[in-house]
Amino acid sequence: MTILITGATRGIGAGLAQHYRDEGHEVIGTGRSVTSDLQLDVTRPASHREMAEALGNRAIDLLVCNAGVYLDKGHDLETGFGVDLWAQTFATNVTGVFLTIQTLLPHLRRAKQAKIAIIGSQMGSSTRAPGGSYIYRASKSAVLNLGRNLASDLQGEGIAVGVYHPGWVRTDMGGEAAEISTDEAVTGLAARFAALDLESTGCFETWDGRAHPF
């Protein structure tokens, strides 16, 4: 199986890349750094075109859209949440996901039963609104909607799409006080991706297999 993972240079993305390599799969990890398998800035259309050219005619069996940012963490309502942060966050967390999928559609179509896994967050659910983190929450809500609609459009082509809450993970983004380790998140997410099919397409699930309300 050939797996492409965006944002694979650290955290959950790096963990997933190593997990699949250990299982013997071909893994293409992307990142903005030249140290990644394939350099990709998800906010730049030109970078997506360069990625597609580098991949040539290869088929992608599983695309994991993991690249994301959380730039408004700890901001206060009176002085925080600058306009530039809205633009940067949506460019990465929403538009970046869409551009990645759009660019790689020809490669996904070459696979027999391709899957797209989008790393979302329960912070984007309409059932969780404790306040704060407005930009990040809005972006994850938008990408949840994006995933649901992509699932509808791609189901007829045999491509399944799922959105997943990875848990509160001890990474640079999640912080040391988070609830689970990267290994726990990776093991759970990999199991969710394996279970994804055309019957469950459009799902929003947690890393440990629970259906999450939208």
Both tokens of 145, joined, read 């909607």
pLDDT of residue 178 exceeding 90, the answer is no
CA 199, 205, 211, 212 torsion-angle sign: negative
Q: Among 10-19, 45-54, 125-134, where is mean pLDDT lowest?
A: 125-134
Q: Which residues pair with 65 in a beta bridge?
A: 118
Cα(78)–Cα(43) distance, integer angstroms: 28
* Topology of domain 2-206, CATH: Rossmann fold (3.40.50)
What would the pLDDT profile of 28-61 be if each residue is shown by its tens digit? 999 998 778 999 999 999 999 999 999 999 999 9
What are φ and ψ of residue 157, in 5° steps? Answer: -95, 0
Which residue stretches of 110-181 are H helix?
134-155
Both tokens of 197, joined, read 């099919």
Averaged pLDDT for residues 128-135: 89
168 vs 113, which has greater pLDDT?
A: 113
Strands ordered across the beta sheet of 26-31: 38-39, 26-31, 2-5, 62-65, 115-119, 160-165, 203-206
- The chain-wide mean pLDDT, for the chain, equals 93
151 C-beta neighbours (distance < 10 Å), count:
21
Q: Where are the domains of the chain?
A: 2-206
**Please, which residues have CB within 8 angstroms of residue 192's CB and are 6 or more apart in sequence?**
117, 162, 164, 205, 207, 209
pLDDT at 182: 85
Maximum Cα interatomic distance, the chain, rounded to a whole number of Å: 51
What are φ and ψ of residue 168, in 5° steps? Answer: -90, 105
What would the pLDDT profile of 136-175 be if each residue is shown by its tens digit? 999 999 999 999 999 999 999 999 999 999 987 766 555 5
Counting every residue, how long is the chain?
Answer: 214
Alpha-carbon distances, residue 22 vs 16, 25, 26, 87, 123 (angstroms): 10, 8, 10, 37, 31
Cα(92)–Cα(24) distance, integer angstroms: 30
Cα(74)–Cα(81) distance, integer angstroms: 10
| pTM (2 d.p.) | 0.94
**Please, which residues have CB within 8 angstroms of residue 150's CB and are 6 or more apart in sequence?**
101, 116, 161
Instruction: Please name the amino acid found at residue 58.
Output: R
